[in-house]
Structure 1
Amino acid sequence: MFKNIVVGIDGSDSAEHALRVACDMAQKYDSKIHLIHSPQPKTVAFAMGAVPGYHAATTMPSPQEVEEAGNKILDSGRAVAKTCNIDITQAHLKNGDPADHITEYADTCGADLIVTGRRGLGNVGALLQGSTSQAVTHKAKCACLSVT
């Protein structure tokens, strides 16, 4: 039924739960799982602001810090999948709009399903503009599952 499942992750609890659901489906359908993460500088700045001595309000992270943070999120996703006895087929990191990157990658790899968390690390603007999961659902050419 589902040969290729793309999972968009952002480091949130909702994204981790979505990945666990995708892993469960992958076991049942013998699917391949592809992770994709599009790090957002403001989210990275917020996360780094939790570190003593880093002032997110005045300092945005460098491109290298954004990439390092993104790779940590992908590594975390791989670790979650391992606990579910699933090996990640591909993991991709790409800066920019998450919904665009998720749907473009899904087209490229021939995804049958895209799984995202319903509420990730987006900001208050997402309440007005719509969330990444909503945008993915509108743009995708395959089935989508938004996990709460």
Structure 2
Amino acid sequence: MKLSRILVPVDASDTSKRALKFAANLADEMGAKLDVLHVTYFTSETDAQEESWLPEVIVGDVRSDEAATQTMVKGCMPDDVDYAYHTRTGMPVEEILQFAEESLPDLIVTGGRGLGVVEGFFAGSVSQELVERAQTAVMVVK
């Protein structure tokens, strides 16, 4: 099976970093284009007011997470991999699924949270929902 497009949703976590490295190596081997997607729940621009209703402690966290994610992506990406970095704002699973519907990847590579069956059942996880709901193949990297 030849993969031409791979989607990897990321944040600044270690599991995300492992998934990104795996996806980048796979894209390199297959000559596939890699779409790297970072989703945040909100940004300082989330509301239309001139002055954000979000406290600076939260907005600052979002900015530092975005910067950490971009740095991680740049550090993990081999020179010869064709990739694009995308950002979305909203519920992570919904935004990832919407992006996948628009971009039509052959594979979604995501990091697993490492929860057990019981913890995963109660807490839920993005990777679990992607496995259940995505219309394309999903690979979970632990």
Q: TM-score, normalised by structure 1?
A: 0.72
Structure 2 unaligned segments of length 5 or more: list them. Answer: 43-54
The residue that corresponds to 1:104 in the other structure is 98
Structure 1 unaligned segments of length 5 or more: list them. Answer: 42-57
- The structure 1 segments of at least 4 consecutive aligned residues displaced by more than 4 Å after TM superposition are none
Quickly say closer, same or farther: Cα 1:11–1:19, change in 2 above 3 A.
same
Please say if residues 38 and 70 of structure 1, whose CA atoms lie closer than 8 Å, have aligned partners that are also in contact. no
Quickly say closer, same or farther: Cα 1:60–1:147, change in 2 above 3 A.
same
Q: Secondary structure at the match of 2:108?
A: strand
2:141 counterpart of 1:144: no
Tell me by how many angstroms 1:100 deviates: 1.2
Deviation larger for 84-93 or 26-35:
84-93
Q: Secondary structure at the match of 1:5?
A: strand
Tell me by how many angstroms 1:89 deviates: 2.4
Please say if residues 26 and 32 of structure 1, whose CA atoms lie closer than 8 Å, have aligned partners that are also in contact. yes
2:31 counterpart of 1:30: yes
Match of 1:78 among 74, 78, 84: 74
Distance between the aligned counterparts of 2:80 and 2:99, measured in 1? 20
| 1:32-74 deviations in Å (ceiling 9; x for gaps) | 1111111247xxxxxxxxxxxxxxxx97412x65245324313
Q: Secondary structure at the match of 2:40?
A: coil
Q: TM-score, normalised by structure 2?
A: 0.75
Partner letter of residue 133 of structure 1? S
